[in-house]
Amino acid sequence: MELNRRTVIAGAAAAGAASVAGTAWGGTAHASSRGRGRPVRELFGRLADGTRVDRWTLENGGTRMGVLSYGGIVHSLEVPDRRGRYANISLGLRTLEEYVASSPYFGALIGRYGNRIGKGTFTLDGTRYQLSVNDGENSLHGGAQGFDKRVWDVEPFTRGSDVGLHLYYTSVDGEMGYPGTLRTKVTYTLTRHGDWRVDYEAVTDRPTVVNLTSHVYWNLAGEGSGSIVDHELSIAASRYTPVDAGLIPTGELAKVAGTPFDFRRAKPVGRDIRTAHQQLLYGQGFDHNWVLDKGITARPEHAATLRDPASGRTLRIATNEPGLQFYSGNFLDGTLVGSGGRVYRQGDGLCLETQHFPDSPNRPSFPSTVLRPGETYRTTTVHSFGT
């Protein structure tokens, strides 16, 4: 067990409204250089109880990102287009107060359980657990006060040619209804090539379930630039998990062939999104888990590629996880103003969340998400940017 920092410091709870004393971040984004820089910390704001929230800036290999200690949120991620012009390609908000009040998980670390658990319940070793319900009758992304709404303890590092942050949070036994005290460490690394690598680790003192992920909304043309329907997406998956009206998997692993869910060859996101397919009606677009052909792997392997033809920017995602949730930003409704000062509307960003499958604790046929004492949960996802 390699979790340290006093074996993971408990992050402060972050319920309630925020009193902001930091900077509102926005405007045109650009990286100052292509070299490596040491992580820089500055005050972003304070929660209502006075808890300090920092914004950390990382830069390496032509990529620059801003990370908040609140929710481990990727507040900005800047990369160049084919002409070398930088833009922030991650949707976000301007102030801490906005994140606390109304963020749809922009850029956040998600836990204990990414995605949905049907009716907010599951049974483990004969004991039934009732979780926090926050999505109709279901539990979504860890419940009403998931990891996205906690203040993480942050430790910066430089290691060889890499630069990054270790983020620590301890979720106590019973938090949001989950059993066991879960000590979590997530490492964000910017490599010398400008890749963003995310390493997740967790240990527990009682049997529990865990499914950690990142909820960045991508727009490779730049946040606030408009719709992502012309982005070209490929997903290395021959099957997906159909859902019911509550977006809970039915248990079937359906073939994508002959359906709008076939992204085995790159196609524009918007090509089939208005097809009268029942699954698209349920999700008001794409909001489904793809079953990656590679399955669970020892090391990260290719899962998806996203490309913006206009800017030439590309994003390649590799993971050792068995699933990928593609969400096409269906519930962005024009009520949120982004970090660049422009309104976000439906389809202005998309998510590619590496994960185990939704509702796995209630689906024995799905890959298990159970973590037991003495085991260490480990997964890795790598985001590679190019033109």
Active site residues: 215, 353
Which residue in 330, 323, 325 sits closest to 349, CA to CA?
330
Residues 6+ apart with CB under 8 A from 64: 31, 32, 57, 58, 76, 77, 78, 86
Query: In which element (H, E) is residue 280 found?
Result: helix 278-283
Question: 């963020």: which residue's tokens?
Answer: 103
Q: How many residues are listed for the chain in this entry? A: 387
CA distance 229 to 333: 16
DSSP characters over 177-193: G--S-EEEEEEEEE-TT
Residue 65 pairs with which residues in a beta bridge? 58, 77
Nearest 5°: phi and psi at 186? -125, 130
Question: In the 8-state DSSP scheme, what is residue 195?
Answer: -
Hey, what are 179's tokens? 């059993």
CA distance 200 to 213: 8
Question: 């319940």: which residue's tokens?
Answer: 121
Amino acid identity of 94? R
